[in-house]
Homo-oligomer: A and B are copies of this chain.
Amino acid sequence: MRRSADERRSEILRAAVALFEQNGFDATSVEEITAKAKISKGLAYHYFKSKDEILLALIGLRLAELDDLTRRLRAEPSAERRLQILIDQLLDDVISGEKRQRFLITTFLQPQNNKLVQKAMKVSPERFESLQQEEIRLLADLGFKDAEAELPLFRAGMQGMAFLYLLNPAAFPLRQVAAQFVLKYSKKQEQT
């Protein structure tokens, strides 16, 4: 069955990510991926130079999604609504994409993946810069005088919620905590 190269690549990536999420990168064999994608092993190596390249492509796809978030933040004038966009994105990533998020986090944290991760991030470094600018603008618009200084703490709160939920979803009331978080940062305007 002839398909376009892009279609093929997508099929392989779709199969791979499902298996990586479930069993981890190391515990997933190329054989399993190709079986799930219903292609031969040889063909997978036609499209990807190695198993690592598959992971690389996966990370790339994920990072590309950040651009969309940045764009949406740029387009929204209201600071409150921008804060809500960020929170909604977090909730969606972490609740709908629970397994994927766990997989990405562990991939990024494992030192043996360092080179790979560096490689993936080098593709478009301005990506992170743009998002950060949006976050700073948000904090400034929310009333923080030194928004840049506030950013790390803001991010820590965000990532911390995500992390604790992923660690034990049943034990962490993510939606509720997220609402508290929004409240805390919305009120900031009148303070500081």
Query: Which residues of B have CB within 8 Å of A158?
Result: 160
Which residues of A from 128 to 184 have beta carbons under 8 Å from B? 149, 152-153, 155-161, 163-164, 166-167, 172-173, 176-177, 180-181, 184
A63: shortest Cβ distance to chain B, in Å?
14
Given A106-B110, A109-B105, A112-B23, also A153-B167 (CB < 8 A): no
- Residue on B nearest A106 in the bound complex, by CB: B106
Inter-subunit contact B112/A24 (CB<8 Å) = yes
A78: shortest Cβ distance to chain B, in Å?
24
Interface size on A, residues (CB 8 A): 36
Verify if A8 is at the interface (C-beta below 8 Å from B): no
The residue among A149, A157, A180, A181 with the most chain B CB atoms within 10 A of its own CB is A157
Which residues of A from 15 to 31 have beta carbons under 8 Å from B? 21-24, 26-27
- Residue on B nearest A27 in the bound complex, by CB: B112
Inter-subunit contact A161/B156 (CB<8 Å) = yes
Q: How far is the CA of A155 from the CA of B23 in the complex (A)?
A: 28
Query: Which residues of B have CB within 8 Å of A111?
Result: 21-24, 99, 102
